[in-house]
Amino acid sequence: MADTDLYYCYSQIAVFSPVLSHPFNDWSDRQVRQGFAWRRHSVSFRMLNEEGQCRVSVKVGSTYVPNPSAKRALVVPFDLDGSEVEIGSITDSRRFEVPPGQYALYFEVGEDEKFVTWALLSFVPQATVDARILVEDQGISPEYPLDMAAKPAGIA
C-alpha cells in the first residue's frame, strides 16, 4: 500500500491514465448525485467536503476488504494500459505504480476521529465489473442504472 497527502478541490479526486490529454471529467447533475463521473481510463469521485487536505491510500490486491469506517463506498471498472495511474485534483496529483490490467476499483472515503479526511483506492484484478454503490451516505442519491458516460472536462 502507498500513502500520500493530497489537496483536493471542487469536491473531487480523480483517478486516471497519465497519458490522457483531458483527464478530468465534466459532471452531470445525475453523476453528482451518484457520487462519481466515469469514462474509460478516468473516474472522478465526489468527496465529502468541497476542498481540503486528504490522506490518500492506494492498494493493489487480490481481494477487497471493506473499511468499516467508510462513510461512502463504491466500485467501478477501471482499465489500465500503462504501469502508472495518476490520482489527483485540479491543483495537485501523484502517480502510483499499478500493473496494467482490468480492475474493480473500490473507492472509500471517510473521516478519522480528528475529522481528517481519508480516501482509500483499492485496485482488485477483475475482468468484468458492474459499477455499484456499496455504502450510501446522505450526500449522494443515485439513480439506477448508474450513469457511465462522463465527458472530458475542458472540451467544448
| For residue 114, pLDDT beyond 90 | no
Domain that holds residue 67: 2-152
More confidently predicted of 155 and 27? 27
120-145: pLDDT as tens digits: 999 999 999 999 999 999 999 999 99
**Grid cell digits, residue 103:** 480492475
The verdict on pTM exceeding 0.75 is yes
CA distance 88 to 86: 7
Which ranges in 1-156 belong to alpha helices (H)? 29-34
CB burial of residue 94 (10 Å; 0-12, 13-18, 19+): middle
115 confidence band (pLDDT: 50, 70, 90): confident
pLDDT at 116: 87
138/103 Cα distance (integer angstroms)? 27
How is 70-90 classified by DSSP, letter by letter? -SEEEEEEEEE-SSEEEEE-S
CATH code of the domain in which 25 resides: 2.60.34.30
- Total domains in the chain come to 1
